[in-house]
Structure 1
Amino acid sequence: MHGLHLTADLRGCRCACTWLLDATALGHACTEAVRAAGLQPVGQLFHSFPATAHGQGGVTATILLAESHLCVHTWPEQMAVTLDVYVCNFGADHSNKARALMESLLALFEPTTVQRHALQRGAVPEPVA
């Protein structure tokens, strides 16, 4: 269960509106980014949300990985995106692949501000002396 969980909250995204509004296009871009990072997609779900009084509906793109998952949520009315990349490191360390995937998605959305977090999950505690 040891792994790396990366998240990022993006604001001021200057990307093409397609990436914020089109679930199919975003899903394809995410799948390509996953493969380019050297990770293995094993399932996917891409969903468009309806428009609201606040503006056009966003999308969610989720890719189940052999190593864990990628999830992207868009808020086009706010030009905002949240990213979630988690990789398990059982049998091999996939941390650099997770970082490469995150960087690829940051480049896709072109945010003006990014708030990032990294969490080591399932770390084995140090023995008490």
Structure 2
Amino acid sequence: MQGLHLTADLHGCRCAMEWLTEADPLAEYCVRAVHAAGLQAVARVVHSFPATEQGPGGVTATVLLAESHLCVHTWPEQRAVTLDVYVCNLGGDHSAKAHALLAALLELFDATQVQQHQLLRGTPPQG
């Protein structure tokens, strides 16, 4: 059950607005990025949120992976995005692929501020 969980909070995204508001193009990009990173997409779910007084609605795009998942949440009114990439490393080390996937998404959104975290999951406690 050991795995690697990568997260990133993006602010000041300079990408085209469609990447923050259009569910289908974002989901298709995510699936292509998953394959380019050498991971296996097994399903995808996307949801568009309605516009509010603050601006256009955002998108949640989730790609289920044979290795675990990718999830993207957008807030176009803030030009912000959160990214979540988790890979299980039980049958092999997919860490480099997870980093490649995250890098592709960071490039797409082109944020002025990025806060990244990395968590090793499923490591048994020592003692």
Cα distance in 1, alignment partners of residues 124 and 99 from structure 2: 21
Give the superposition deviation at 1:125. Answer: 3.3
Cα distance in 2, alignment partners of residues 66 and 79 from structure 1: 30
RMSD: 0.7
**Residue segments in structure 2 that go unaligned for 5+ positions in a row:** none
Cα distance in 1, alignment partners of residues 7 and 29 from structure 2: 18
Name the counterpart of 2:97.
97
User: After TM superposition, what 4+ stretches of structure 1 lie above 6 angstroms from structure 2?
Assistant: none
Larger Rg: 1
Give the superposition deviation at 1:124. Answer: 3.0
Cα distance in 2, alignment partners of residues 91 and 34 from structure 1: 18
Name the counterpart of 2:122.
122
SS of the residue aligned with 2:13?
A: coil
SS of the residue aligned with 2:39?
A: coil
Aligned-pair identity in percent equals 67
Cα distance in 1, alignment partners of residues 71 and 96 from structure 2: 18
**Residue segments in structure 1 that go unaligned for 5+ positions in a row:** none
Name the counterpart of 1:8.
8
Give the superposition deviation at 1:46. Answer: 1.1
Name the counterpart of 1:107.
107
CA deviations over 1:44-76 (Å, ceiling 9, x no partner): 101110001111000010000000000000000
Q: How does 1:8-47 map to 2 (within 5 A)?
A: 8-47=8-47
Name the counterpart of 2:52.
52
Letter in 1 for 2:57: G
Cα distance in 2, alignment partners of residues 123 and 102 from structure 1: 22
TM-score for both structures, normalised by structure 1:
0.96
